[in-house]
């Protein structure tokens, strides 16, 4: 989750369930028989835009995580890595949206760029 937060320069609120054997019906086919056995250990967390963990993870019990989020951290994080800002390179990359009906298989001869200029 730290990687996701750092790459997106965003807050990540990751939620994962915590469950013990006793949370399931007795006749449910689970090898564990001790009601206190942890079957899914949670690990929910809140991570800041630079990868700092603001809350969690907790692997021992059910819990509710809270953190105060400073939305200015998003802008601060984009000073060194802004995937849609100054790193966007229209001279190198482009987005083309073709709204025409398409067939599932198309054979195109010539260079790869020719397919974007198709006039059909």
Flag whether 51 is in a domain: yes
Q: How many residues does the chain have?
A: 120
* pLDDT value for 113: 57
* pLDDT value for 12: 96
Flag whether 25 is in a domain: yes
Flag whether 110 is in a domain: no
Flag whether 112 is in a domain: no
* pLDDT value for 48: 95
Flag whether 118 is in a domain: no
Flag whether 12 is in a domain: yes
Alpha carbon distance 12, 18 (integer Å) = 19
Flag whether 10 is in a domain: yes
Q: State how many domains the chain has.
A: 1
Helix residue ranges per DSSP H, 1-120? 2-8, 72-77
* pLDDT value for 57: 94
Domain of 20 in residue numbering reads as 1-101
Q: Give this prediction's pTM.
A: 0.64
Alpha carbon distance 77, 49 (integer Å) = 6
93-120 CB burial, b ≥16 within 10 A, e <16: eeeeeeeeeeeeeeeeeeeeeeeeeeee
Mean pLDDT, 10 residues at a time, the chain of 120 residues: 92 94 90 89 94 94 94 87 68 84 86 55
Flag whether 107 is in a domain: no
């Amino acid at each position: 989750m730290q990687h996701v937060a750092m790459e997106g320069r965003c807050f990540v609120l990751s939620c994962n369930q915590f469950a013990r054997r006793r949370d399931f019906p007795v006749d449910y086919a689970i090898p564990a028989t001790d009601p206190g056995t942890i079957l899914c250990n949670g690990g929910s967390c809140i991570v800041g835009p630079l990868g700092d963990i603001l809350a969690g993870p907790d692997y021992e019990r059910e819990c509710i995580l809270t953190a105060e989020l400073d939305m200015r951290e998003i802008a601060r994080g984009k000073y060194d890595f802004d995937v849609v800002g100054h790193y966007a390179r229209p001279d190198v990359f482009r987005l083309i949206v073709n709204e025409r009906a398409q067939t599932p298989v198309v054979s195109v001869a010539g260079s790869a760029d020719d397919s974007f200029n198709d006039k059909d």
